């Protein structure tokens, strides 16, 4: 039987409750803390994700959209690779539970240093690198470093960008979902996973709302508000550790919610080799297809976002307007995710894995086509459609495109992607998941960033990303089609593993 259709006690619910809230009252003891944990993680992720773009696009000296692919390729990717090795070392030495505290504490310490020391003294910290100095360096250094130079001179914003990019991958992928896979029972999976996103995305709405509201202040006040916003991130980061502690010390001690034999197996702390996890990506066709899903998502969404942010920067020149639009994006994403959760949970219960797994690439392909068509139309010289500004239309169409894609990611892509790890043995799960999440997830964005970097630093030095549309769009289309084929291939292997697992039981 397909795992999505194994609803456990679902027949005990009324028709409406099985659609909107298929949770038993006694299960709230486990469901609510797990949802709260994801709420805290997503609040921090949303806030730092938006702030990092504001810093690079509007605060950094000589900041521009073209810096984003450079950051992801030359700074975030090596950081992600280093983090993956450190994470697997920490799990092997201390176990996944202690690793959670170590990782989250490290991130919160950095954000504390940033808001107390680096941000208030950013001009002195950046060695007074003026726009003139940066442009002079761009003229004298090899052209391959044209957009690397502003990243180096604005080093504190670059550091914030790297930590904020890795936070999402580390906490949502390697920490929360790995933990959820370990402690969620089979008859809870298809009922809990989608609803985690619904509760947690209230955090996305609140985070985006806080940013949007504070962005209405003057620029001087917004500098002050940055400290408040980062302070909120630190608060919710500490709260996530408190909730995690409660789950382990109280919830998982209840035999109704956790199999103690799994806990004992976890305590063995089997040595986890990161290189073995990397090897699995190339030697296991199953893990390779999982990696293709993440690579495809990362590549396609990066192309959409980079062009949208290019219009964001060129159309909205005020930092507050830029931050307000990013806040609107987060609020829209959170609201759509909450709404779509009910639809997605029912899709997962009614259909096999392939159907919900196909929806994200189909949405990406369809919405991406509309967005890129508008951008191409604008680049051909059209400035208005029916009396409306095309750049502003692109901003709002891009916002809703990104919001829908992200909500589908949270409701369908993440749950279905994490489902495929469940039939695997413990060692394969532990070795492979961190490698897939961190390396494949980052490599997808790095792949798109590599294309953007080559186009703007080698093919045409100093050019704008938007001038290379007819190179980017075909790559986007091929990647989206490859994603769809990967879903079909992985579906067959996943169903076979589920069948084998049920036969062994």
SS3 assignment, position 460: coil
Q: What is the DSSP letter of 368?
A: H
Q: Which CATH superfamily is domain 30-261+273-498 in?
A: MFS general substrate transporter like domains (1.20.1250.20)
389 forms beta bridges with 384
pLDDT score, position 108: 96
List the beta bridge partners of residue 385.
Answer: 388
Tell me, what's the pLDDT at 217? 60
**Which regions of the chain are under pLDDT 70?**
1-15, 18-20, 125, 127-128, 173-174, 190, 194, 215-222, 259-283, 426-435, 437-439, 441-442, 501-505
pTM: 0.76
At 277 the pLDDT is 60
Per DSSP, the three-state class of 90 is: helix
Going from the C-alpha of 364 to that of each of 254, 301, 332, 401, 411, the distances in angstroms are: 41, 8, 17, 8, 14
In the chain, where the domains are located:
30-261+273-498
Q: What is the pLDDT of residue 431?
A: 63
Looking at residue 273, its pLDDT comes to 54
Tokens of 211: 């940013």
Q: Which residues contact residue 300 at a Cβ distance below 8 angstroms, ignoring those fewer than 6 apart?
A: 364, 368, 448, 476, 479, 480, 483
pLDDT score, position 432? 67
pLDDT at 263: 44
């Amino acid at each position: 039987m397909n795992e999505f259709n194994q609803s456990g006690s679902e027949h005990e619910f009324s028709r409406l409750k099985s659609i909107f809230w298929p949770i038993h009252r006694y299960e709230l003891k486990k469901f609510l803390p797990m949802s709260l944990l994801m709420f805290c993680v997503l609040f921090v992720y949303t806030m730092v994700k938006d702030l990092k773009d504001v810093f690079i696009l509007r605060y950094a000296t000589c900041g521009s959209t073209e810096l984003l692919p450079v950051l992801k390729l030359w700074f975030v990717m090596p950081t992600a690779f280093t983090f993956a090795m450190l994470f697997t070392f920490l799990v092997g030495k201390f176990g996944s539970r202690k690793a959670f505290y170590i990782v989250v504490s490290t991130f919160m310490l950095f954000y504390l240093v940033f808001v107390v020391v680096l941000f208030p003294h950013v001009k002195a910290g950046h060695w007074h690198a003026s726009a003139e100095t940066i442009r002079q360096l761009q003229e004298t250094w090899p052209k391959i470093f044209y957009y690397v130079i502003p990243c180096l001179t604005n080093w504190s914003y670059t550091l914030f960008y790297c930590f904020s990019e890795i936070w999402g991958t580390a906490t949502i992928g390697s920490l929360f979902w790995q933990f959820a896979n370990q402690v969620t029972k089979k008859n809870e999976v298809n009922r809990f996973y989608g609803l985690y996103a619904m509760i947690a995305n209230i955090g996305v709405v609140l985070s985006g709302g806080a940013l949007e509201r504070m962005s209405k202040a003057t620029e001087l006040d917004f500098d002050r508000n940055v400290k408040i916003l980062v302070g909120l991130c630190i608060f919710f980061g500490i709260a996530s550790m408190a909730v995690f502690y409660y789950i382990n010390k109280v919830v998982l001690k209840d035999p109704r919610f956790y199999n103690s034999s799994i806990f004992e197996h976890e305590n063995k702390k089997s040595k986890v080799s990161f290189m073995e996890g990397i090897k699995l990506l190339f030697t296991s066709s199953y893990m390779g297809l999982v990696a293709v899903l993440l690579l495809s998502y990362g590549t396609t969404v990066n192309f959409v976002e980079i062009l949208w942010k290019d219009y964001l920067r060129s159309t909205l020149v005020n930092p507050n307007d830029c931050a307000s639009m990013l806040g609107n994006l987060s609020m829209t994403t959170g609201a759509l995710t909450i709404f779509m959760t009910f639809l997605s949970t029912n899709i997962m219960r009614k259909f096999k894995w392939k159907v919900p797994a196909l929806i994200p690439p189909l949405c990406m392909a369809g919405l991406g086509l509309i967005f890129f068509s508008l951008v191409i139309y604008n680049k051909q010289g059209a400035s208005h459609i029916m009396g409306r500004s095309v750049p502003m239309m692109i901003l709002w169409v891009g916002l809703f495109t990104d919001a829908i894609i992200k909500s589908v990611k949270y409701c369908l892509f993440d749950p279905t992607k994490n489902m495929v790890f469940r039939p695997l043995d413990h060692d394969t799960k532990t070795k492979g998941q961190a490698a897939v999440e961190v390396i494949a997830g980052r490599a997808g964005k790095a792949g798109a960033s590599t294309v953007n970097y080559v186009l703007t630093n080698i093919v045409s030095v100093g050019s704008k990303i938007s001038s290379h549309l007819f190179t980017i769009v075909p790559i986007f289309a091929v990647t989206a089609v490859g994603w769809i084929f990967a879903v079909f291939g992985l579906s067959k292997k996943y169903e076979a593993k589920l069948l084998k697992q049920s036969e062994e039981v």
